[in-house]
Chain A
Amino acid sequence: KAGVTQTPRYLIKTRGQQVTLSCSPISGHRSVSWYQQTPGQGLQFLFEYFSETQRNKGNFPGRFSGRQFSNSRSEMNVSTLELGDSALYLCASSSGRGAYNEQFFGPGTRLTVL
């Protein structure tokens, strides 16, 4: 079974631009969560989608948004990029919602904002 895939793997943008990242979960998984990893803040939760609905959101500004499609693929969008948005963005999939389901992570998208 294929793992979680994320595209693109690397991205360089300039301040003020917007970016869209994509995540395809493991086949059959319906929950997708997004996390941001930076050296200063570590791994922080962005949001979770299940059945095309955002179920849970972390403490990030409204510039960070996402969506999930009917095939469970998810995208996250960051508008008006800031230097501090430079990070590794990881998505995780699980078969269902909640704590009783093991989370599996993709390889990440490394975003650099210049």
Chain B
Amino acid sequence: DAGVIQSPRHEVTEMGQEVTLRCKPISGHNSLFWYRQTMMRGLELLIYFNNNVPIDDSGMPEDRFSAKMPNASFSTLKIQPSEPRDSAVYFCASRQRLNTGELFFGEGSRLTVL
């Protein structure tokens, strides 16, 4: 079975550019999570969805960040405009139910903003 699929795996961009990260959760999973991982702050929860509806976006750092889940098999995390401090590994994870069970992570998207 396919796991959580993220793209791109690596992205290098210049400050001010728009960045779009993509995620395909595991089929049948109702909840999707976006995390950001840095050495300084560890693994931070940015936003999560249940049945395609955003439940909590309090972890989104600024208005420059936005996330959508137009259907059960696709989500995007967009940063516009990007800044060097956004450089991090962004993980998407999915789970069968909202508040119980294992989180299955993708391999992450490593973003570098110059």
Q: Do A and B bind each other?
A: no
